Amino acid sequence: MNKVRTSEKSSRTMSLLSQLEKINLGSVLGEADNARYVTSKILHLVQSQEKTRKEMTSKGSTGIEVILSTLENTKDPQTMLNILNILIEVISVGGGRKANILVAKGGTQILLQLLLTASKDSPPNEELMVLLHTLLAKIGPKDKKIGMKARINGALNISLNLVKQNLQNHRLILPCLQVLRVYSTSSVNAVSLGKNGVVELMFKIIGPFSKKNTSLMKVALDTLAALLKSKTNARRAVDRGYVQVLLTIYVDWHRHDSRHRYMLIRKGVLQCIKSVTNIKLGRKAFIDANGMKILYNTSQECLAVRTLDPLVNTSSLIMRKCFPKNRLPLPTIKSAFHFQLPVIPASGPVAQLYNLPPDVDDVVDESDDNDDAETESEIETENDDKDQHFKNDDIETDINKLKPRQELGRPLEELKMYERFFPELSEKFQECDLVSKEPKPFIPDANLSGPIVVPTAGEEYSAETKQSTKGVALKESNPVLTEEYNRRPAFLELPKKDSVKDSSLHQQNDQRNLSPSCQCLNQEIVKGLDRMSLQTSAKNDQYYSTACVITKESKTSLTTLACSNPCEHVSPCGSSLFEGSSVHLGKLCCTGVDSEEEDSRSSSSGEQVMLEVSDVSPVHDCDLYIEMVKTTKSIPEYSEVAYPDYFGHIPPPFKEPILERLYGVQRTKISQDIERLIHQNDIIDRVVYDLDNLSCLVPEEADVLKFNSKFESGNLRKVIQIRKNEYDLILNSDINSNHYHQWFYFEVSGMKTGIGYRFNIINCEKSNSQFNYGMQPLMYSVQEALNSRPCWTRVGTDICYYKNHFSRSSIAAGGQKGKSYYTITFTVTFQHKDDVCYFAYHYPYTYSTLKMHLQKLESMHNPQQIYFRQDVLCETLAGNSCPLVTITAMPESNYYEHICQFRNRPYVFLSARVHPGETNASWVMKGTLEYLMSNNPSAQCLRESYIFKIIPMLNPDGVINGNHRCSLSGEDLNRQWQNPNPDLHPTIYHAKGLLQYLAAIKRLPLVYCDYHGHSRKKNVFMYGCSIKETMWHTNVNAAACDLMEDPCYRVLPKILSQTAPAFCMGSCSFVVEKSKESTARVVVWREIGVQRSYTMESTLCGCDQGKYKGLQIGTRELEEMGAKFCVGLLRLKRMSSPLEYSLPSSLLDIENELMESSCKVTSPTTYVLDEDEPRFLEEVDYSAESNDDQDTELADNVGDYEATNQEDGLSDSDSARILLS
């Protein structure tokens, strides 16, 4: 026996414990009397002195062990009672920590054995039973194995029998019920207790409203809720009609508890209903008992009292769960567009899709709601300490698989086909007019619209240093620009009905005059656009809503147009179709505002906006964009052009903060959804747009919105009007797929001002979204663009993302049954009547925009200074070209030394947009390209340091056709890098081929980076590859593996964290996961041998650190990130130059960062939308599965109900205090 430490000999407590230990050893005569006396003295000290309680459980003290040893050995009842009271006093004040000490010392086993012994007495000692159960209820939640211990010990039914035999003895059965509740956390115990009649017993204790015995009622409800989590017990309750009983009890307490003193009891009843409705039979019984209407009405009555929110939230959870699963109103969940693959994969989701019988209903199946088997399969889980240690099975633990192994993968002879993409390695520049070290002045060509401006998001707008677009003094700034600005814009002439036959001829004669040149929207051109004619004639207004007629005037440089208000018949296509390869813009709007008012409003708003000339993108050309669209091949054969893509986008001059989430917004939206079931007669349920039904008529009513998505990158499949100003929207699946619904881009028109329109996108699949954390969708107003504000802006209120009642078939969920879709909901109030507005998931960047961008860059660069080459890497499945760009500096001269320096520059390989829905990757790439092509001295230095090989869009087909994640093959291209198929994944096959060729000729890129977007995290960050850090996360001692690794992979992210405001080092990860072994980042690292192989992820939402903390991200910040990435490469070059051998220790302090890192890498949990990288949990969790506030279930001190305290209920202030604590 351990000796009691008595360092403080004067301590009375220590002295008494020492005496008690001697009694246990049997060295003291009359031990029973002595033990009784000593324990009573200790009890007195414990009750009266906090110091004594601390001494008992202080570190190094054996006081608890002595007490437990005495309890285990004594036969004296009074001594037992004294000791039990001592233990209750000790742990009542210390809370969980002291209860843990008791559990660790074996207290649970001793108490259960004592309970078993005491139960054999006839009758059992009531006081002893009360104290034993009170103590067990307090320490039980801290002992994860108490259920198993009680079952093995045979103590399980003792408490149940005590309750059965003493129903009127509330003092005894209260702690017994608390212990039963603890036992019931084990499903095996719950089933065992259920077979012995515990469910029926609980319904004898609970009942209608009564002010008596409220504490007993609360504990009984908590116990019942825990028991009903067992499917066996839940079925037993349903079979006996207890669902109706629970609803009746709840309504009774709701009606009588007018002062809300018994909120905890009402919550307890709801918890019981919540448990029983976990099974299908329970949900059916709930619906049959009119439970939806009962809980809806009671929760609406509770909304006025904030302290009753837990009741409203729990009611909402129950109603959501019991809401009957609905079929998604589609004929098939496969894409509305079909593309026949040249080769069908042998296995995988695409193969399954093609092998489905034609008569199979893939939208929903019978198994969707069958989430509980009728056969009992309760599993013992208490032996698994799942929460004790975090474990991720997805992290690669095989060090042999982690070690990079450079493999060409293809014969060298075959790789020689890529030699033609590297002419810079053999070019002699004999016929080139090369510049010397002092570059010649850059003379722009006639088509140049201005110098390339490096994106600098940090620049402040200054009216003193820059001119706004209003009143731009073009003639003084640049004569070339003046000519461009004063060019007469030729507006699109729409053919009349009787001249349609001649339209193709007209187009051939004037193809370049299809659209207005909005290259630089100065104020005069904007005013001209404001007056754009919307002429109609009696002869053709039934076919065309608008017609823009060219009216050339000899004395003006602008087209003067008149406005006619009638726009009664709106064509669903917007305006007349051209034949052949022609394209046309969507419909413009006529607001009916007088021209004088419009002019004055435009003038005043122009002063406020302050758009600088430098803000207008020099690489956007409206005419050129139309030309690019003509060569873009889409599966639906789009003939329309969306106005935002045509006009272009200028970042707004104001900050867009992350939206603060209003309290209760998700609950309110769910409540409105539940009203659809309760008040079905109020639902319009009218289809107003449908890609599957081309004969779907466009509504002619003035108060119904019109929708369209038939343009490049558009995605909207179906729209159903639910209420007057509420619409359900359904997104299209990726082509050759039956899922991936997240990206949206569509047009809305026919709106009124001053009305809040609610849009619900109802078939999203990810389990959570940044829409729950302050992200807003984007809107582009054509009217605002015509008023000199052509920009995408963040809009929407009452935004949330939550699980809905539309059922997903197991076919689309990878075999998983019972899954539901999710809803993005937002409300928008439009500024202009009859405007044409576009909504998008993120800033759109189309394939045609990229082609225009690259062509402008090529035409604007100085060939004497910049080596720029654009090749076609390959053709996609749809026949679109995949651009490959090479950028570096021209050699100083054609002398041998300069040519050698040129050829020996290290390569940097960049790629982007493998996932079409991650449009932010293209904006970052735009920033990178424009910086590399700029006249900035640092950019020139960068070009002289590296040769850049860039594939700016790896998935053109997916981008063109509005896919979210896949190519036309229906597969995620970023999962094909390990073994790409040249027929199905040509862009990946040849991109990898380029890298394999560089490896074969011993010219490995210094850096490879694939630009992505991330939908669940904030900031910009990187993922890299490290053996050491991967092993670190698997709890394997890296040092034991004799592992040496160059930490250079951390240098570039560290540099970016110091130079790029949006970049966050804390979000970076360098762990290699099994599920990512076929991504670009891992394959280029492992097979090609590039140590600095990265994925750079940009948030879709905003930043929570640094300069942009609290702001949503915009194109200005994204482009700046692309430029800052280049700056980081330049700094990386300087740091690794021979002049600077040693890197700053702060950049390579890997050990400390690993030790301090709290980053947990988790595997994707959803089949269809696995993130490229780990999930991220926000600091405040607005779960898409529940309501706004995470209502804590049962606290650790569930056994602390005292009958005397709650006998008369809670006062209003007490109730509020409990809720707010």
Token look-up 């409705």 returns: 277
Tokens of 1145: 């220790």
Sequence-ordered list of residues with C-beta below 8 angstroms from that of 442, at least 6 positions apart, any chain? 451, 862, 865, 935
Q: Is 413 left (phi over 0), alpha (psi -120 to 50) or beta?
A: alpha
- Residue in the block written with tokens 């002092």: 438
Per residue in 47-72, is it b (16+ CB within 10 Å) or e — as a string?
A: eeeeebbebbbeeebbbbbbbbbbbb
Contacts 24+ apart (CB under 8 A), 1156-1162: 1159/1066, 1159/1069, 1160/390, 1160/392, 1161/392, 1161/394, 1161/395, 1161/1033, 1161/1069, 1161/1071, 1161/1073, 1162/392, 1162/394
How do strand 881-889 and strand 866-875 relate by DSSP bridges?
antiparallel
Specify the length of the chain in residues: 1221
Euclidean distance between CA atoms 537 and 389, whole angstroms: 75
How far is Cα 1185 from Cα 320, in angstroms, rounded to an integer? 10
CA-CA distance, 871 to 34, in Å (whole number)? 98
d(CA 182, CA 222): 10
Residue type, position 818, single letter: G
Q: What is the Cα–Cα distance from 955 to 732, expressed in whole angstroms? A: 18
CA pair distance 174, 1206, nearest whole angstrom: 12
Say if residues 435 and 890 touch (Cβ distance below 8 Å).
Answer: yes
Is the CB of residue 216 less than 8 Å from the CB of residue 173?
Answer: yes
Gap between the Cα atoms of 1185 and 361, Å rounded:
27
> Could you give phi then psi for residue 424, rounded to 5 degrees?
-65, -20
Q: Are 1107 and 912 in contact (CB under 8 A)?
A: no
CB pairs under 8 A, 24+ apart, for 448-451?
448/480, 448/481, 448/484, 448/618, 448/859, 448/860, 449/481, 449/484, 449/519, 449/520, 449/616, 449/618, 449/621, 450/478, 450/481, 450/520, 450/613, 450/614, 450/616, 450/618, 451/618, 451/935
* CA pseudo-torsion sign 920, 925, 927, 928: positive
1097 in active site: yes
Catalytic member of 726, 1029, 1097, 1117: 1097
Q: Determine the 3-state secondary structure of 825 from DSSP.
A: strand
- If residue 758 lies in a helix (H) or strand (E), which one and from where to where? strand 756-764
Closest by CA position to 260, among listed 1212, 1218, 1214: 1212
Count CB-CB contacts under 10 A for residue 317. 20
Residues 6+ away with beta carbon under 8 Å from 513: 490, 492, 623
Helix and strand element counts for the chain (H, E):
45, 21
Structure tokens at 462: 């200054």
DSSP 430: T
Minimal CA–CA distance to 601: which of 787, 880, 359, 386?
787
Assess contact for 44 and 53: CB atoms under 8 A: no
Location of structure tokens 């106005």: 643
Tell me the three-class secondary structure of 996-1008, residue by residue: HHHHHCCCCCCEE
Active site residues: 1097
